[in-house]
Chain A
């Protein structure tokens, strides 16, 4: 199993540009989520999904869209990049069969918005 994969690893954008961060998992996990991690702020939930066709907002959803057309893929779209979106983005997935299922993270995407 590849686990959770994310592309790209690094990205530099100009203010106002849009882009999609890709996330895929091959573990047949129902639950997938996106976090951003900023210095001193910890991991904050952006959006999550409990299955194909179902998405919901987390703590910091503004400026981001998601979709879940398949179990495997959960892309994160930045609509109009702003410097405040400079961060490290982690995608994660877990099974929903029990409260103690491990959540697996991808390696992260380091995004800089100029």
Chain B
């Protein structure tokens, strides 16, 4: 079983739409969780961390379900500039700085 699984997409949505991405992880010892964003031919950049209580940053909401080992990202009021690949990222376990990356979900926001 792959450690971090994501739907590869692509998700093609109109501007203004709400879109949700899901991710499952296999290592129950993972402690820290993130969503990274990667633009075409660029390096990944941190979008937001995902905390146990869920957290929001503007139009972006991230949630974590430790019991189901499931992470989600909700984007409201999609903008053209949101078009990118979204990577689900978890750490290897307690005390580990190693991060495991999902293969990413590609989002295209269409005018």
Contact = CB atoms under 8 A, between A and B. Distances in A.
Interface string B22-60: 000000000110100000001111100100000000000
Given A99-B32, A99-B91, A45 B98 contact: yes
Contacts, number: 41
Highest count of chain A CB atoms <10 Å: which of B32, B87, B99: B99
B43 A106 contact: yes
Given A42-B103, A99-B91, A90 B46 contact: no
Interface residues of B, number: 19
Highest count of chain B CB atoms <10 Å: which of A35, A90, A100: A100
Contacts of A41: 103
A103 B46 contact: yes
Contacts of B46: 102-103
Given A58-B98, A90-B44, A99-B31, 14 more contacts: A31-B97, A35-B101, A41-B103, A42-B87, A42-B101, A43-B44, A43-B101, A48-B97, A50-B97, A99-B32, A99-B91, A103-B46, A106-B43, A107-B42
25 contacts: A31-B97, A35-B101, A41-B103, A42-B102, A43-B44, A43-B87, A43-B101, A48-B98, A50-B97, A58-B98, A90-B43, A90-B44, A94-B97, A96-B97, A99-B31, A99-B32, A99-B91, A100-B34, A103-B99, A105-B43, A105-B44, A105-B45, A107-B42, A107-B43, A108-B43
